[in-house]
Structure 1
Amino acid sequence: MSQRDPCVIVERRGALLIVSLNRPEAKNAVDGATAAQLNAAMDLLDEDDNLFAGILTGNGGNFCTGGDLKAAARGERLSTDDRGLFGLFGRPPRKPLIAAVEGYAVGGGLEICLACDLIVASSAARMGLPEVRHSVIALGGGLFRLPRRIPYHLAMELVLSGEIRDAAFFQQHGLLNRLVEPGTALQEAVALAEGLLVNAPLALAASKAVIQRSADWTDEEAWQLQAPIAARVLKSEDRREGLAAFAEKRKPQWKGR
């Protein structure tokens, strides 16, 4: 890869944004430039009304092997002020984001998956949080997001052992949405995304927000706190379009506003 090649490649496919980590020579380890470019890609996804969902993947046969330790040793900052570590972990996009995983997704690579809403992985993928083997701690969300997604004792074993497991293990325990043939993760993620895109984009984002935020809500709080999130959807152009399309028995034309 030349010095001019981007660390993150962004491709639009209609209402879908495909974001590819592009440091194959480093197994897509994240350096300072990658974090900044990933942050910018997530901003684009959030801010463009014509984009309804995103896919995050890696070029060159691997998803991501975490932070680039050589870059960190050079003093590069692997985070941004806006979205935190990797330009993602502290504030993932408000719109649905799908991870398409081939090869290794370890350390910060697995934490990228955990920052996504859906995960499609190749059966040849390898995943885990090996930080403790290097006297490091998984500070990209893995220590609190992983035990929310799989049983506590399994998450604890993975973290404390640092073992890297195959994707079938994570499928068995509910972390993956799709387990697919090697080389087809992106293709399957696109198909999954296209199934989402028939739905209203503001409703998708609002539903995601309620699910994410409600983990700490009581039932009484939930009735109150979901209302302002839903209000934008219920007052939107897309809401009126959805009702009109239903009445007219046609496919709705969503505008994301």
Structure 2
Amino acid sequence: MTERQFVKIDIHERIAILTIDHPPANAFNGQTMSDLNAAFWEVHEDAAVKVIIITGAGPRFFVAGADIKELAAAGAQGQGRAMIEFGQATFAMIEASRKPVIAAVNGVCLGGGMELFLSCHMRIVSSAARLGQPEINLGIIPGWGGTQRLTRQIGVARAMEIILTGDLLDAAEAQRLGLVNKVVEPGKVLDEALALAVKIASKGGLAIRASVKAICEGLKMPLADGLKLEVDEMVALLGSSDAREGFSAFVEKRPPQFSDSW
């Protein structure tokens, strides 16, 4: 694994943990975003990895947002578009991953951190976490996907309120809105995310990828097209060695031993 300045990679069996470690608040500057982009691509392309977890270093911050001084300088120098488009491309890559991505939110999750959170497929959050898109307080808007993903996930009215007021959500409210899978005690977030990842990684890799594809791509399609995609993925899986093993294990009343292969 390549060493990077602000994003650390740890592999636990079939699970990759990416830790954003940019003191003091894990804010996204250009180097941190570049490190996340490269680290994510590295583990995504590693055939041994089945599930990816993204978290922040330390107990207080997931990602506190963008580096405001760097963002302001980029805008003043006419480089704002490149910075914004690179961040959008990074989060789009995460969202489009066929490997499940779990956000383990250990603390403050604001601005660009919230947009990273929204691009992940599942989210485990500390009860002490605070989440939001407070960009309006700086005279700007969310630029790394927040206006689009938040609206699609919780609806126009609530997303409009959150973005236009800049008000923060506590973990319980985020869960009530359907943004969070589980809220846990501080200090237990990564353990809970790992438990979820281990459970998922025990399933067949082909079916995992097909499920993520059908859900994520299907959401972008009319229902009839999404149903056709589901049929195509199911038919393909029926001929796989993983499916044959799954069927045999069921009949023989034993745990399946998936090979994650066709």
Letter in 1 for 2:17: I
Q: Residue in 1 aligned with 2:202? A: 198
The 1:45–1:174 alpha-carbon spacing in structure 2 relative to 1, beyond 3 Å, is: same
1:157 is aligned to 2:185: no
Root mean square deviation of aligned Cα: 2.3
Which ranges of structure 2 fall in alignment gaps of 5 or more residues? none
Range 200-209 or range 116-125, more displaced: 200-209
Name the TM-score, length of structure 2 as normaliser: 0.86
Percent of aligned positions that are identical:
37
Displacement of 1:54: 0.9
Unpaired segments ≥5 residues, structure 1: none
| CA offsets 1:168-209 (integer angstroms, 9 cap, x no match) | 211122211111111211111111212212211221121111
Corresponding residue number in structure 1 for 2:42: 44
- Whole-Å Cα distance in 2 between the matches of residues 67 and 152 of structure 1? 24
Aligned with 2:57 (options 56, 59, 81): 59
Q: Structure 1: how far apart are the matches of 2:89 and 2:109?
A: 17
Are 2:88 and 2:143, in contact at CA under 8 Å, matched by a contact in 1? no
* Aligned residue in 1 for 2:144: 140
Conserved in 1, the CA contact under 8 Å of 2:103 and 2:124? Answer: yes
Would you say how many aligned residue pairs link Structure 1 and Structure 2? 250
Q: After the TM superposition, which residues 227-242 of structure 1 pair with which residues of structure 2 at under 5 Å, given as runs?
A: 227-230=231-234, 232-242=236-246
Checking the alignment, whether the CA contact within 8 Å between 1:31 and 1:78 is kept in structure 2 is: no
- 2:5 alignment counterpart: 6
SS of match in other structure, 1:88:
helix
Structure 1 CA distance for aligned equivalents of residues 202 and 112 of structure 2: 32
Q: 1:91 aligns with which of 93, 112, 135?
A: 93
> Is the contact made by 1:121 and 1:180 (CA closer than 8 Å) also made in structure 2?
yes
Q: Which moved more, 1:41-50 or 1:182-191?
A: 41-50
Deviation at 1:242, TM superposition (A): 2.3
Classify 1:254/1:44 alpha carbon distance in 2 versus 1 (closer, same or farther; 3 Å): farther
Query: Any residues of structure 2 matched to 1:182-197 within 5 Å, and which?
Result: 182-197=186-201
> Closer, same or farther in 2 for the Cα pair 1:21/1:171, shift >3 Å?
same
- Tell me the SS of whatever aligns to 2:92: coil
2:69 match: 70
Task: Give the Å deviation of 1:235.
Answer: 3.9
Alignment partners' CA distance in 2, 1:64 and 1:122: 13
Moved more, 6-15 or 143-152: 143-152
Counterpart residue identity of residue 239, structure 1: A
For each residue in 1:142-177, what CA deviation from the matched residue of structure 2 results, as whole angstroms up to 9, or x when unmatched? Answer: 111112222432211100101122112111222111
* Shift in CA distance, 38/138, structure 1 to aligned 2, threshold 3 Å: same
Whether the 8 Å contact between 2:64 and 2:113 is mirrored in structure 1 is: yes
User: Is the 1:132–1:160 contact (alpha carbons within 8 Å) kept by the matching residues of 2?
Assistant: yes
Query: Aligned pair in 2 of structure 1 residues 173, 21: CA closer, same or farther (>3 Å)?
Result: same
Cα deviation digits, residues 70-125 of structure 1 (max 9, x gap): 33426696478xxx417631221221011111221000101111101111111110
2-side partners of 1:79 and 1:131: how far apart?
14
Matches for 1:110-125 after TM superposition, within 5 Å: 110-125=114-129
